[in-house]
């Protein structure tokens, strides 16, 4: 054997033989009897076998363990604290600041669900009070005075992260007593760094460590798997009462088996998630991931998953030289891509005929609009529009109207106000950013508009083209991915003028509204936004309805946007697909047409463009113009893929002296 081969073999044996001793210590530290604290709490005593984790029994066969071949210090994440471990063995594979306490946000609801499950009876029914409905946030759409089974409340709690559902459960069992039971349960599970002040996670004093969250996740995975199973459902409907959509960013991931995420300003993004991963030569391992204080939980979790598949091995010494390990060592390095993928959809209007269809055909479940199978991917998995969205880094669309239960109908010729449950469905489908600048956002007045903005924020969907005042409306929504900042602005060239945003400038009081293309500071707004990001997307609601060719006004506004720094210009309003154009160093799609709309009277209005852009770090890009087709019940039934083509920008002319 040559010397390089010996060195390679030695390295393989070394990294394979190096067990994660910290993980084993962690596993043994959480194995103790819990019964005394649990009995005092009034909760049912858990079986002594129901440990959060289990130690691998001593056997004659070779010991199996995790090993990490990476010597570079682990994955690079935005989270201040994280832990990754095997929920069967309790072994910690990766961790950072695992015992530092941070706010939990809605991850708190996992404990809320556990306690409610332990103390409820099969036919417990809660009555929703006015104080419950007054809780911050609207997800769940509970109504004061309605009666609902406590078992059913688990669905809005875990699918839509409903704060109202959390408070309804706590109030039904006695709020102070319920929160006390949450803390007692934490003690029994040896979650020594955890404390709860409310059942929802709104309180900044709901704090924990990623180590404690790993313990809780391990317990749920082994003893309460039905709770985690709820978090993998696309939606859940109570006939003639409610339909709730799953807002998880990981829904649809092949290896995802459950979890819960949260967000508040103090907590930033938080998450607990479970994946079954093929880290051994055969079978898969249940891996728990907990993150606190993340600025991009989705990217962090995806980075961890890639890191595990690249570097982590579960097995014994005898496996060190197997072909499987050799192949794992040879996998490519994990690096951030040098490009961002963006998907742009057209007008989304889920009122009127779409609402009627959803009620009649889908039991009021709006997530069904985006879930219809489009056939199978090359690897054999079913594919839907939601799957396409979730493979994109950023998804943008135009929300044609408000989604609210507030406001007064302004009696316009066509007046749209969508069901509020539309917003969680859009989040669950994978939408990242929505334009709220169009001619229908004022159909139910300013209060419906303000309510819609609040609901979008609650569901972590960014919005642009409007705001609670002029400053917010003119500030770009910014998403940072792979070290690239992408900004979004939106303008309406179709009014309504009475809905323009004002305030906090020139002594005016704040007034929520949209950003108009006629704004006297139009050029400055775009120029300022472009300076804040690497690449700027500007959306316009402009053009003439049902015209397949853009007009002079559209061209003027689009060119001005590019001249002031826009890289991409995306149009809406005509309800049909229009042409595209390359202008200088910008790409313009004048109208994407309808994405979901009820204009079933013509073929062009029942289809639209789903534009996929791959934007490279150096500004070069490719474009793929897909065509989406609606069926008679307004589901996305077919996506005809376009050809991915490199965008040929105009050459930048330089003058020599």
Query: DSSP secondary-structure letter at 218?
Result: H
- Burial environment of residue 508 by CB neighbours within 10 A (0 to 12, 13 to 18, 19 or more): exposed
The structural architecture, per CATH, of the domain 339-646 is 4-Layer Sandwich (3.60)
Compute the half-sphere exposure of residue 388: CA atoms within 13 Å on the CB side of its CA.
28
What pLDDT does residue 170 have? Answer: 98
What is the distance between the alpha carbons of residues 152 and 34, in angstroms, rounded to a whole number? 29
Spatial distance between the Cα atoms of 338 and 616, rounded to a whole number of angstroms: 6
401: left (phi over 0), alpha (psi -120 to 50) or beta: left
Residues 410, 626: Cα–Cα separation, whole Å: 36
pLDDT at 283: 84
Strand pairing of 65-68 and 312-315? antiparallel
**Is it true that the peptide bond before 496 is cis, omega within 30 degrees of 0?**
yes
Of 528, 555, 529, 527, nearest in space to 540 by CA: 555
What are phi and psi for residue 645, nearest 5 degrees? -130, 145
Measured distance CA(300)–CA(74) in Å, rounded: 12
Residue found under tokens 């929505």: 434
Annotated active-site residue 229? The verdict is: no
pLDDT of residue 20: 38
Q: End-to-end CA distance of the chain, in Å?
A: 64
What span, in angstroms and rounded, lies between the C-alpha atoms of 113 and 220? 10
Predicted local distance difference test score (pLDDT) of residue 229: 98
Domain with CATH 3.60.21 in the chain: 339-646
361 alpha-carbon distance from chain centroid = 26
Q: Token match 């990981």: residue?
A: 250
For residue 651, the Cα-to-chain-centroid distance in whole angstroms is 38
- Global confidence as pTM: 0.88
Q: Residue 315 has what pLDDT?
A: 78
394 in Cβ contact with 536 (< 8 Å): no
Report the DSSP beta bridge partners of residue 281: none
Among this protein's residues, is 48 annotated catalytic?
A: no
Q: Which of 161, 203, 208, 294 is catalytic?
A: 161
Q: Give average pLDDT by consecutive 10-residue segment, the chain, 657 residues.
A: 48 42 42 40 44 36 68 89 94 95 98 97 95 97 97 98 98 98 97 98 98 97 97 93 96 94 98 95 91 97 94 69 45 73 98 98 96 74 82 97 97 96 97 98 98 98 97 97 96 97 70 97 98 98 98 98 98 98 98 98 98 98 97 96 96 59
Question: Residue 381: which H helix or E strand, with range?
Answer: none
- Residue 2, both tokens: 């040559």
User: What are the start-end ranges of the E strands in 46-150?
Assistant: 65-68, 81-86, 92-96, 102-103, 125-127, 147-149
Helix/strand/coil percent split, the chain, to 5? 30, 25, 45
Cβ–Cβ under 8 Å, residues 164 and 133: yes
Position 189 scores a pLDDT of 96
Q: Is the dihedral of CA 14, 19, 250, 629 positive or negative?
A: positive
Candidates 41, 95, 108, 109; catalytic one = 109
Q: Is 161 a catalytic residue?
A: yes
The per-residue pLDDT for 18 is 40
106, 200, 294, 404: which is the annotated catalytic residue? 106
For the chain, how many residues are written? 657
Residue 151: C-alpha distances to residues 30, 104, 114, 154, 532 (Å): 30, 24, 11, 6, 47
Query: Is residue 103 within 8 Å of residue 262, measured between CB atoms?
Result: no
pLDDT of residue 239: 82
User: How many whole angstroms separate alpha carbon 81 and alpha carbon 271?
Assistant: 11
Alpha-carbon distance of 227 to 111, in angstroms, equals 10
Q: Cα(373)–Cα(367) distance, rounded to whole angstroms?
A: 13
324: tokens are 């499987």
Structure tokens at 312: 């982590």
- Would you state the pLDDT for residue 375? 78
- List the one residue out of 185, 187, 209, 207 whose CA is nearest residue 92: 209
Count of C-beta atoms within a 10 Å radius of residue 579:
11
């Amino acid at each position: 054997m040559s010397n390089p081969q010996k060195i390679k073999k030695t390295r393989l044996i070394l990294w394979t033989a190096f067990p994660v001793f910290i993980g084993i210590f962690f596993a043994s530290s959480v194995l103790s009897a819990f019964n005394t604290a649990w009995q005092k709490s009034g909760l049912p005593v858990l079986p002594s076998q129901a440990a959060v984790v289990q130690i691998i029994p001593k056997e004659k066969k070779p010991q199996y363990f995790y090993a990490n071949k990476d010597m570079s210090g682990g994955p690079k994440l935005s989270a201040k604290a994280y832990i990754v471990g095997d929920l069967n063995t309790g072994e910690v594979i990766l961790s950072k600041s695992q015992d530092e306490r941070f706010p939990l946000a809605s991850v708190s609801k996992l404990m809320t669900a556990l306690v409610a499950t332990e103390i409820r009876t099969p036919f417990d029914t809660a009555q929703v009070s006015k104080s419950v409905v007054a809780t911050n946030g609207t997800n769940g759409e509970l109504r004061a005075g309605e009666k609902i089974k406590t078992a059913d409340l688990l669905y809005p709690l875990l699918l839509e992260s409903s704060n109202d559902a959390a408070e309804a459960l706590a109030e039904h069992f006695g709020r102070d007593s319920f929160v006390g039971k949450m803390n007692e349960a934490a003690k029994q599970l040896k979650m020594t760094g955890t404390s709860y002040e409310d059942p929802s996670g709104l309180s900044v004093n709901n704090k924990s460590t990623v180590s404690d969250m790993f313990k809780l996740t391990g317990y749920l995975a082994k003893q309460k798997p039905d709770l985690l199973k709820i978090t993998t459902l696309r939606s859940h409907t109570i006939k003639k009462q409610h339909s709730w959509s799953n807002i998880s960013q990981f829904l649809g991931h092949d290896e995802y088996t459950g979890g819960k995420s949260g967000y508040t300003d103090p907590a930033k993004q938080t998450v607990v998630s479970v994946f079954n991963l093929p880290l051994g030569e055969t079978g898969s391992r249940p891996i728990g991931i907990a993150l606190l204080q993340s600025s991009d939980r989705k990217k962090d979790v995806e980075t961890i998953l890639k890191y595990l598949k690249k570097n982590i091995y579960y097995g014994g010494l005898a496996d060190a030289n197997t072909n499987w390990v050799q192949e794992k060592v040879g996998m490519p390095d994990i690096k951030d891509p040098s490009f961002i993928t963006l998907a742009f959809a057209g007008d989304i209007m889920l009122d009127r005929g779409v609402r009627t269809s959803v009620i009649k055909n889908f039991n009021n479940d709006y997530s069904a609009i985006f879930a219809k199978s489009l056939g199978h991917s090359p690897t054999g998995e079913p594919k839907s529009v939601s799957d396409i969205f979730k493979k994109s880094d950023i998804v943008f669309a135009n929300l044609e109207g408000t989604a609210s239960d507030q406001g007064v109908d302004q009696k316009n010729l066509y007046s749209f106000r969508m069901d509020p449950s539309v917003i969680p469905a859009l989040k669950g489908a994978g939408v990242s950013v929505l334009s709220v600048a169009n001619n229908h956002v004022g159909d139910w007045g300013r209060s419906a508009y303000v309510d819609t903005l609040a609901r979008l924020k609650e569901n972590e969907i960014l919005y642009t083209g409007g705001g609670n005042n002029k400053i917010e409306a003119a500030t770009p929504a910014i998403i940072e991915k792979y070290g690239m900042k992408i900004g979004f602005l939106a303008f309406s060239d179709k009014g309504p003028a009475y809905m323009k945003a004002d305030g906090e400038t020139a002594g005016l009081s704040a007034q929520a509204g949209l950003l108009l293309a006629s704004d006297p500071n139009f050029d400055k707004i775009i120029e300022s936004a472009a300076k804040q990001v690497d690449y700027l997307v500007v959306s316009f609601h402009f053009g003439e309805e049902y015209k397949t060719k853009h007009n002079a006004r559209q061209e003027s506004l689009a060119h001005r946007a590019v001249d002031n720094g826009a890289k991409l210009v995306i149009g809406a309003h005509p309800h049909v697909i229009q042409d595209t154009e390359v202008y200088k160093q910008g790409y313009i799609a004048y109208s994407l047409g309808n994405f979901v709309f009820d204009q079933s009277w013509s073929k062009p209005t029942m289809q639209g463009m789903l534009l996929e852009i791959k934007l490279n770090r150096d500004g070069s890009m490719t474009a793929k113009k897909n065509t989406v087709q609606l069926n008679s019940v307004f589901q996305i039934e077919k996506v005809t893929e376009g050809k991915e083509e490199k965008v040929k920008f105009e050459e930048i002319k330089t003058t020599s002296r």
